[in-house]
A and B are shown apart, each in its own frame.
Chain A
């Protein structure tokens, strides 16, 4: 072999070795900073069209849980354990079963079923599990390598990464109860995101029913010792306000271990749409809060919505990266929001790295409701949804339904973004679905390019004085597709009714795309490209035989790879797609058994790159349920 070929071969081998070292997926968000990025490049723009199913795994939930599946949302992103921990691919099902698979063929190695309490009406979901190597346990001993699982019924479990058995050193029998002396109250509070593990701590947030009544459980974030399960610190994101609650952290948190910070994306205070009993800005709700990782002390906060009346939770994991400007590298944090802004902050200080414009906000006509006079808006990047919707902007498939939409919009209480909900039907655009949601964004290497999937469907809502509304007021947190929901707000004078703004044909009254993928240059503060995300061909009374790329509502996120690709499901068309990160061109798509409302992940295992995604459907979409985990790879 000529020398030059030998050198090339050695270089290639070295590259593979390096890639192998860096091409796992050890954290829910790809890394501790939620970048959703992999250096894996074996699948690239040139060969992605050849991508096909490598293996398919079914969890068995459909067979086991039957009708309960209709109240599920399959959202898990698997993680790949390091070789020392057994190199299994591990994920959780909506019922918090943890399953370990062979990453090469999808064969099950073990599973762990915590046997959750399934009472209550909250939707079952589990976004992931977390891994840590516990240095206080001897090498080779059971539970040296641990997985942490926070369950629907508010328990935190530590199990061994090798066999799925509980870790006895942790809590009682491997479990810590996350509720207090009041016991577990089904339906009020649950956990959906993977715990955050760093520096010997496992930190857990919660999902709280924040519509149903004024005084809901506090959204306390708790940190426990990873070895013993003993509580170390806790933090209540809502300061004061005894007649309120929540401001919980349901989205994944991020960690900057080097600087000893954990970043909490906090949600709205309760109840979402009525703030009379929680006057003021409601700190630290609707914020990114940086806590000292060791003590839980507040280091800084950035509140992106003051006195929330729109359910504009901080919906996604803060993305940690280095912000490059003028030759400077600043440790930064990007936060996508439901109101469709992207805030870029100095993650050491919380200061915005883009000028903040105080956006004046209209007052409320609800007695006693004092809205914030202004809301913060970054001068760049631009809003990812143009929330301006007037009768002249009405859209329709036919002149008739366009006219109907025009009438509907004309009748709305509509003062633009941050219009407070009132007794008159009010525009909510973006609605509580976003804008961005829990899928977050994916950062392409060190380019500063953030790819984020966006919902673009206007909602309407109104407050209905109690005693005058429908008797069917319930406790769901978002309207199901094609339906309007009415929810009680016990302790207030109102129920709230919310739904999508649609024509009598059920078609959104705002122009498509109704879901889109946007590429944002965080360094320049610009939108580089955007494209419709999703086809509506399955959303009519009958399916069309071809794709109609007007975009669909979407839940779940995407990931970027060094192969120049962005993989995402999320849409209401059962597709997983691969986009070119530079152009937004769709390079590959595949039809799944169900909608994949989960974020995919990728890894290289034994020299082959896999792209894995859960496809189990989402109760909000009401488009069928399943228990599929797909792995795609290039032909061997």
Chain B
């Protein structure tokens, strides 16, 4: 046997020797399965936060870590017990959370099983614990489906809509102030909808509070959960926004803090991270060329806007879209140096991928273009996607003129439902044949780009809100329909769309990824505190509840080796999430034996 495997087994045996078992029952003593148990160290790590409240650049820093597992049919769950005291939060749908302090029982056989009896919630407590999506499902906005579409499109890409923070009673004036603030942050809620929407939100949230029995039950947690482990690494603080990220072949995970121009390099083996700050020039202003949209946000430091990540198959360098600049970033994970490539045109670099020929492709969301960066020549090719009308063409062509004005003096068109606007190419992916697929969020269409001729072919998308997309091993294009709450498959061979209802109601899916090795599509949840998996072969869903409430995810990465998936809690504002801090989350299938224990 290879020595490293022997070492691993020894470690496992050692760890099993210091395991804690929790046995969860209800009031009647019956075992409760599917109970979520989260282990947290009682003593938080003490770290240097001297850089605006964050870890200084280049300093190896430990992250607070939590581990979450679920009970099996016998109500049993086991944890490895670290050296220092831990606390367990025990959570089950319909039961009051229990907090169990374990000050250390290693070596004491009698005490290694902790019995926990769960107390049912009152009806009011249970209703209050429901995730956003079930509340949102009953928000009808006067039966105006177009208004609800507009509301969800413009208001749901940052945060949960029907969390307690949003269904909080507000006066109409308070709602109007919220809309104004949100539009200043980048939402495009049409001005002529504000008054009507404010009145409806006040009225209907109040009606839901008074008649909560109309709110459907959340989807019950499922038995498969005892076969997984969730691990969270806390990074940043309540004002960060952990946007996209990347699993790197070097074993690290790179996460971008979109509001603080920082890249977190996290070692999932040790739980330590190092921060690298994206440099900006003296001339660059907060908010970059877009202008500072966050003048009313309490804490922010973004000159570039770290958005989307892709890795070069050639040398492992990481390419990052700085959404607030006309540029592309390259990060060398060996030297830890950033290189900035200025672009000659195009606005709002968005989602990014690298093809097998080491060419970097990314969408330009504002100018309705796709850029290709050729690493050998360091030149950009910018491909126009077709405008849908002469007016749209004129607007797109006038963008350089508009952006020639200072942000403060730049003409700002008032948003209306018709002029929300611009088509906004959003998700992008590279097919196995090298073809490039793009989804245009506001235009409800897909674009295919020939990787050699750059010829563009448009495909109408018959649903609302194609946000991000991925191509599977067979060349099928999988798209999430944001407002329509659907997973959609597009078969380019026969030009056929197949829509799959999500297993949770009124989810507003942001992104997805595909475990090509296992044939599983993973879909981000953001309203239901879940992540969803869809087995392509069986067309069966599995639902994974998140370890904390108000968990908004917008990217998924897959560790093909072990089938683990990673996501970030990217709720904006992060402070609204349970615990108030963002995190990187990994969901790992447990070994067969562990899951059956």
B576 within 8 A of A: yes
- Which 9 interchain pairs have the tightest Cβ spacing? A360-B580, A380-B169, A390-B296, A357-B164, A355-B128, A360-B575, A382-B169, A392-B295, A415-B298
A374 within 8 A of B: yes
Bound form: Cα–Cα A361–B238 in Å: 9
Q: CB distance A380 to B579 under 8 Å?
A: no
Q: CB distance B124 to A355 under 8 Å?
A: yes
A296 within 8 A of B: no
A327 smallest CB distance to B (angstroms): 12
For B181, list chain A residues within 8 Å (CB): 388
B176 smallest CB distance to A (angstroms): 12
Q: CB distance B177 to A386 under 8 Å?
A: yes
In the complex, the chain A residue whose C-beta lies closest to that of B581 is A360
A551 smallest CB distance to B (angstroms): 15
A435 smallest CB distance to B (angstroms): 16
Interface 1/0s, chain B 215-242, versus A by CB < 8 A? Answer: 0000000000000000000000111000
Q: CB distance B169 to A392 under 8 Å?
A: no
B414 within 8 A of A: no
In the complex, the chain B residue whose C-beta lies closest to that of A390 is B296
Q: Which B residues form the contact surface with A (CB < 8 A)?
A: 53, 124, 127-128, 164-165, 167-171, 174, 177, 181, 184, 202, 206, 209-210, 237-239, 295-299, 575-580
A3 smallest CB distance to B (angstroms): 48
Partner of A525, one of B209, B576, B577: B209
Bound form: Cα–Cα A380–B127 in Å: 15
Q: CB distance B579 to A360 under 8 Å?
A: yes
For B580, list chain A residues within 8 Å (CB): 360-361, 373-374
Bound form: Cα–Cα A361–B237 in Å: 11
Q: CB distance B169 to A526 under 8 Å?
A: yes
Q: CB distance A355 to B164 under 8 Å?
A: yes
Q: CB distance B298 to A382 under 8 Å?
A: no
Bound form: Cα–Cα A355–B124 in Å: 8
A139 within 8 A of B: no
List 15 contacting pairs A-B, 8 Å CB cutoff, sorted by A: A326-B210, A355-B124, A360-B575, A360-B576, A363-B237, A373-B579, A379-B164, A381-B169, A386-B177, A392-B295, A414-B298, A415-B238, A416-B298, A524-B210, A527-B171
For A356, list chain B residues within 8 Å (CB): 128
Bound form: Cα–Cα A524–B209 in Å: 9
In the complex, the chain B residue whose C-beta lies closest to that of A527 is B171
Q: CB distance A362 to B209 under 8 Å?
A: no
Partner of A365, one of B53, B164, B177, B298: B53
Known: A380-B209, A415-B239. A357 touches B575 (CB 8 A): no
For B575, list chain A residues within 8 Å (CB): 360, 362
Bound form: Cα–Cα A525–B237 in Å: 32
Q: CB distance A379 to B167 under 8 Å?
A: yes
Bound form: Cα–Cα A234–B209 in Å: 41
Q: CB distance A382 to B239 under 8 Å?
A: no
A391 within 8 A of B: yes
Give residues 518-558 of A contacting B (CB, 8 Å). Answer: 524-527
A393 within 8 A of B: yes
Q: CB distance A380 to B238 under 8 Å?
A: no
In the complex, the chain A residue whose C-beta lies closest to that of B53 is A365
Give residues 408-423 of A contacting B (CB, 8 Å). Answer: 414-416
In the complex, the chain A residue whose C-beta lies closest to that of B128 is A355
Bound form: Cα–Cα A415–B574 in Å: 13
Interface SS of chain A: loop
Q: CB distance A525 to B206 under 8 Å?
A: yes
Q: CB distance B168 to A357 under 8 Å?
A: yes
Q: CB distance B299 to A382 under 8 Å?
A: no
A99 smallest CB distance to B (angstroms): 43
Q: CB distance B165 to A357 under 8 Å?
A: yes
Bound form: Cα–Cα A526–B168 in Å: 10
For B167, list chain A residues within 8 Å (CB): 379
Q: How large is the interface on A (under 10, 10 to 19, 20 to 34, 35 or more residues)?
A: 20 to 34
Bound form: Cα–Cα A355–B209 in Å: 9
B381 smallest CB distance to A (angstroms): 40
B175 smallest CB distance to A (angstroms): 10
In the complex, the chain B residue whose C-beta lies closest to that of A355 is B128
In the complex, the chain A residue whose C-beta lies closest to that of B294 is A390
Q: CB distance B165 to A382 under 8 Å?
A: no
For A527, list chain B residues within 8 Å (CB): 169, 171
Beyond known contacts A388-B177, A392-B296: 7 more, CB 8 A cutoff: A360-B575, A379-B168, A379-B169, A382-B174, A386-B177, A415-B239, A527-B169
Interface 1/0s, chain A 179-190, versus B by CB < 8 A? Answer: 000000000000
Give residues 480-536 of A contacting B (CB, 8 Å). Answer: 524-527
In the complex, the chain A residue whose C-beta lies closest to that of B550 is A360
In the complex, the chain B residue whose C-beta lies closest to that of A358 is B578
Q: CB distance A524 to B206 under 8 Å?
A: yes
Bound form: Cα–Cα A358–B127 in Å: 15
A521 smallest CB distance to B (angstroms): 10
For B174, list chain A residues within 8 Å (CB): 382, 386
In the complex, the chain B residue whose C-beta lies closest to that of A518 is B171
Bound form: Cα–Cα A326–B209 in Å: 12
Q: CB distance B168 to A382 under 8 Å?
A: yes
Bound form: Cα–Cα A524–B210 in Å: 8
Give residues 388-403 of A contacting B (CB, 8 Å). Answer: 388, 390-393
Q: CB distance B296 to A393 under 8 Å?
A: yes
Bound form: Cα–Cα A379–B124 in Å: 13
For B239, list chain A residues within 8 Å (CB): 415
Give residues 325-381 of A contacting B (CB, 8 Å). Answer: 325-326, 355-358, 360-363, 365, 373-374, 377, 379-381
For B184, list chain A residues within 8 Å (CB): 392
Q: CB distance A526 to B298 under 8 Å?
A: no
For A355, list chain B residues within 8 Å (CB): 124, 127-128, 164, 209
Known: A360-B579, A362-B238. A390 touches B297 (CB 8 A): yes
For B578, list chain A residues within 8 Å (CB): 358
Pick from A360, A391, A525 the residue with the most CB of B within 10 Å. Answer: A360
For A524, list chain B residues within 8 Å (CB): 206, 210
For B209, list chain A residues within 8 Å (CB): 355, 379-380, 525
For A392, list chain B residues within 8 Å (CB): 184, 295-296
In the complex, the chain B residue whose C-beta lies closest to that of A410 is B295
For B164, list chain A residues within 8 Å (CB): 355, 357, 379
In the complex, the chain A residue whose C-beta lies closest to that of B44 is A370
Bound form: Cα–Cα A386–B296 in Å: 14
B234 smallest CB distance to A (angstroms): 12
In the complex, the chain B residue whose C-beta lies closest to that of A360 is B580
Bound form: Cα–Cα A390–B295 in Å: 7
In the complex, the chain B residue whose C-beta lies closest to that of A365 is B53
Partner of B296, one of A380, A382, A388, A415: A388
Q: CB distance B171 to A390 under 8 Å?
A: no
For B579, list chain A residues within 8 Å (CB): 360, 373
In the complex, the chain A residue whose C-beta lies closest to that of B296 is A390
For A381, list chain B residues within 8 Å (CB): 169
Bound form: Cα–Cα A388–B170 in Å: 14
For B171, list chain A residues within 8 Å (CB): 382, 526-527
In the complex, the chain A residue whose C-beta lies closest to that of B165 is A357
Pick from B127, B164, B577 the residue with the most CB of A within 10 Å. Answer: B164
Bound form: Cα–Cα A392–B124 in Å: 39
B139 smallest CB distance to A (angstroms): 15
A633 smallest CB distance to B (angstroms): 37
For B577, list chain A residues within 8 Å (CB): 360
Bound form: Cα–Cα A386–B173 in Å: 11
Q: CB distance A415 to B299 under 8 Å?
A: yes
A178 smallest CB distance to B (angstroms): 40
B313 smallest CB distance to A (angstroms): 41
In the complex, the chain A residue whose C-beta lies closest to that of B127 is A355
In the complex, the chain A residue whose C-beta lies closest to that of B299 is A415
For A525, list chain B residues within 8 Å (CB): 169, 206, 209
For B576, list chain A residues within 8 Å (CB): 360
B358 smallest CB distance to A (angstroms): 43
A405 smallest CB distance to B (angstroms): 14
Interface 1/0s, chain A 257-295, versus B by CB < 8 A? Answer: 000000000000000000000000000000000000000
For A390, list chain B residues within 8 Å (CB): 295-298
Give residues 9-67 of A contacting B (CB, 8 Å). Answer: none
